[in-house]
Amino acid sequence: MSNPCYGRKRGYSRRAVLAQVGLGGVAATLGQLRGVRHAFAQDDGRPWYFLDDAEARWLAAACDTLIPEDEYPSASQAGVVDFIDFQLASDYGAGAGLYMDGPHQSGTPEQGYQFAFPPSDLFRNAIDALLQDDPPLTELDAEGRHEALRGLSESEDNLTDDIPAQAFFTELRTLTNQGYFADPIHLGNHDYAGWQMVGFPGAHAYYLSTVDDHNRHHPAPPMGVAHDRSGGSSLPRLIERGE
Partner 1 sequence: MPRLVPSPLIAAVGIGAVAFATTLPAQDRQDDPDIEELQERVTDERVLFGVQVDGEVTDDLLKKGRLVAMGGAEAGGADMACISCHGAQGQGDGSGAFPRIAGQAGWYLYKQLMDYASEARPNEVMTDVARNLTEHEMEAVSVYYAAIDAPLIAPLGDVDAETLQWGGKLAAVGSSERGIPACANCHGPAGAGVPPTVPYLAGQHSSYTEYQLQLWADGARDNDAMNVMSAVAEKMTEDDMKAVSAYFARVRGEDAEAAEDGEVADSNEDD
Partner 2 sequence: MADYILPKTDVVIVGGGWTGLTTAYELAREGQRCVVLERGRDRHTATSFAGPEEHDELKYALHHAHMMELRKETLTFRNTRDQRALPMRRLGSFLPGSGLGGAGIHWNGQLWRPLPSDLEMRSHYADRYGADFIPDELSIQDWGVSYDELEPHLEFFERICGTAGTAGNLDGEPREGGNRHEGPRASGYPNPPMKQPIATTLFGEAAARLGMSPFPMPSANVTQAYENPYGAQLHPCTYCGFCERFGCGYHAKADPIICVYDRIKDHENFEIRCDSQVLRVEKASDGKTATGVTYLDKSGVEYFQPADIVCLNAYALWNVHLMLVSGLGEPYDPETRSGVVGRNYSYQTIAAVDVFLDDEIVTNPFMGAGALGVAVDDFNGDNFDHSDLGFLGGGYIACTQYHGRPISYQPVPEGTPAWGAEWKKAVRDNYLHHTGIVVHGSSAATPDNYLDLDPTWKDAYGRPLLRMTFDFPQNDRKMSDYVLQRAVEIAEEMDHVRSISTINRAAQDSRYSLVPYQTTHNAGGAVIGTDPRTSVVNRYGQMWDHHNVFVFGACLFPQNLGYNPTGPLMGLAYWTLHHLKSDYLSNPRPLMDA
Q: Which residue type does 9 have?
A: K
- Alpha carbons within 13 angstroms on the beta-carbon side of residue 138 total 13
Residue 37 CA to residue 20 CA, distance in Å, equals: 21
Within 13 A of 187's CA, how many CA atoms are on the CB side?
Answer: 28
The answer, yes or no, to whether the previous bond of 135 is cis (omega within 30 of 0) is yes
As a whole number of Å, the end-to-end CA separation of the chain is 12
What is the footprint of partner 2 within residues 101-120 (CB under 8 A)? 101, 103, 105, 107-115
Selected from 14, 98, 147, 243, the binder of partner 2 by CB under 8 A is: 98
Residue 211 interacts with partner 2 (CB under 8 A)?
Answer: yes
Q: Which stretch binds partner 2 (CB under 8 A): 46-54, 159-167, 217-225, 228-236?
A: 217-225
Report if residue 143 touches partner 2, rule: CB under 8 A. Answer: no
Q: How far is the CB of 42 from partner 2 (least distance, A)?
A: 31
Contact between 167 and partner 2 by CB under 8 A: the answer reads no
| Spacing of C-alpha 240 from chain mean position | 16
Q: Which of 205, 214, 215, 242 binds partner 1 (CB under 8 A)?
A: 205
Does the footprint of partner 1 cover residue 25 (CB under 8 A)?
no
2 binds partner 2 (CB under 8 A): no
- Output 135 or 219, the one with its CB closest to partner 1: 219
